[in-house]
Amino acid sequence: MKISVVQKQIQALPADALIVNLFEGATMPAGTTGAVDSALGATDGIPGDGMVSRLIKLGDFKGKLNEVAVLYTNGMIPAPRVILVGLGNKDQLTADRVRQVSGASMRKARDLGCKRVASVVHGSGLGGLDVRIAAQATVEGALLGAYQFREYKTSPGNGKHIDEFTLVEFNPARMQAVRNGAHDGEIIANSTNSARTLINRAPNHLTPAAFADVAREMSIASGLTVAILEEDGIAQFKMGGLLAVSQGSANRPRFVILDSAPESKTAPLVFIGKGVTFDTGGISLKDPSGMESMKADMGGAAAVFGALQAIGQLRLPQRVIGLLPLVENMPSDLAFRPGDVITMMSGMTVEIISTDAEGRMILADALHYAKRFEPRAVVDLATLTGACVVALGDGMAAGVFSNDDAFAAQLMKCAHNCGERLWQLPLYPEYGDKIKSDVADLKNSAGRTSGVGTSAYFLKRFVETEHGRDAFPWAHIDMAPMMFNTDNKGYQPRGAMGYGARTLVELARASGLGV
């Protein structure tokens, strides 16, 4: 979709649809919406006598959040349609609500068959939001809300899509802020959509090797450097966790290192994403009901991929390194087994209790590998436990564990700014007691009733140095509740959410980490 910014009165713009807005409870349209109303049939130019006003007076439009109405202009202005979207309560307006209304209205325009759409900058007038933030949120919402995954469709069907989206601002003094916000919003939304596409892609197409190839292509396009370890290189680093999980699959593992500023001497942020391109559970086989969703078990790696794509294109000064351990977890005569003891890259040994607790095994090696960068802080993201879905609710929020409360607070603030819910869970030392093994240093599972906390504590052990101190501020995000969206709502269409990518970008953009 082509994004542009113009200085003009929106009612004079030729497009297939114009998008304007209204707050809940408004009795008369104001600002740009009022100007459009006046152009749509007002008698003798009398304010409050146009098509929008009549809709309000009839009680057919309340302005509730994401409420949408379509007005047909009958040649009174160049655009044949005006889409009116509700902003909800004025006192509750946020940048994320702007994303929602932009996404909902764009999806309506797409479903109507519109190719060229123009919109106001939602929330920057009477809403009082910063112009640049509002412009970024409007563009993000538009691109995220209009996203469709159609790679495998063999016929066009109802594959309607919008070709051009124009952001319209009348005040010349605000144009640079609008352009800057639109620029950032386009990059961040497209990068999130890249993550969504990876998650939606079929697992026979997105193997570890295929994922690594896509990462190589993206790094070239986004100005990153990339290194890809194949099985021999992984073995040289003695990454026992990666090797164990992957040994049952014909699709061999990869370990991808993305770097936004390799020449920088500053301590980097390191983002690590769980990349299990398909998870059967291995020998500890999952229930086959719903197993097709396990193509999304690489959602953490997809989020890191999307974040690094955006960070590279935004040319952020903060050095960021992305680590993607990529494997497929399959049952076969070569697969690792319950009862096996694995020596990890750190030298610690792990007794395998469940081969379906595989994500922590590959993340543990990546966490130890991250120590070589002497990072400023590390975040790992993983669709790690069903227990987190039970704890927080499907589609409600991801859980975060951290060894540093200040860093966790900064991360949650970044998530809040992006509208990506994140809830801190405790990292009690007693969780460590539950993963003690009689035959090894650790066991990889403490059973169903201790799933979410013990999995995080398992990872913490690989953040520690040989002296038992934490090597860096660290946060673990269990994003299992945030894999797929089941309904079209706001800027989240059905399918993969792409959760986490925007939070990571926001963290990289932040001026200080508070650590």
The residue written with tokens 């123009």 in the block is: 118
Residue 448 annotated to the active site: no
What gap in Å lies between CA 266 and CA 426, rounded to an integer? 31
Q: Which pLDDT score, from 0 to 100, does residue 460 have?
A: 98
Asked whether 482 and 391 are in contact (CB, 8 A), the reply is no
Residue 90 annotated to the active site: no
3-class SS string, 380-435? EEECCCHHHHHHHCCCCCEEEEECCHHHHHHHHHHHHHHCCCEEECCCCCHHHHCC
Query: What are the C-alpha distances in Å from 441 to residues 341, 344, 448?
Result: 10, 11, 20
Burial class (CB in 10 A: 0-12, 13-18, 19+), 467: exposed
Q: Which pLDDT score, from 0 to 100, does residue 273 have?
A: 98
Helix (H, G, I), strand (E, B) or coil at 83: strand
Q: Determine which one of 115, 286, 421, 509 is catalytic.
A: 286
Which pLDDT tens digits describe the chain residue by residue (515 residues)?
999 999 999 999 999 999 999 999 999 999 999 999 999 986 655 666 799 999 999 999 999 999 999 999 999 999 999 999 999 999 999 999 999 999 999 999 999 999 999 999 999 988 999 999 999 999 999 999 999 999 999 876 566 899 999 999 999 999 999 999 999 999 999 999 999 999 999 999 999 999 999 999 999 999 999 999 999 999 999 999 999 999 999 999 999 999 999 999 899 999 999 999 999 999 999 999 999 999 999 999 999 999 999 999 999 999 999 999 999 999 999 999 999 999 999 999 999 999 999 999 999 999 999 999 999 999 999 999 999 999 999 999 999 999 999 999 999 999 999 999 999 999 999 999 999 999 999 999 998 777 799 999 999 999 999 888 999 999 999 999 999 988 888 999 999 999 999 999 999 998 544 44
What gap in Å lies between CA 146 and CA 107, rounded to an integer? 5
Q: Which pLDDT score, from 0 to 100, does residue 303 have?
A: 98
Q: Which pLDDT score, from 0 to 100, does residue 154 have?
A: 86
Q: Determine which one of 97, 99, 132, 360 is catalytic.
A: 360
Question: Domains of the chain, with CATH numbers?
Answer: 2-170 (3.40.220.10), 192-509 (3.40.630.10)
What gap in Å lies between CA 502 and CA 395, rounded to an integer? 17
Q: Which pLDDT score, from 0 to 100, does residue 166 have?
A: 98
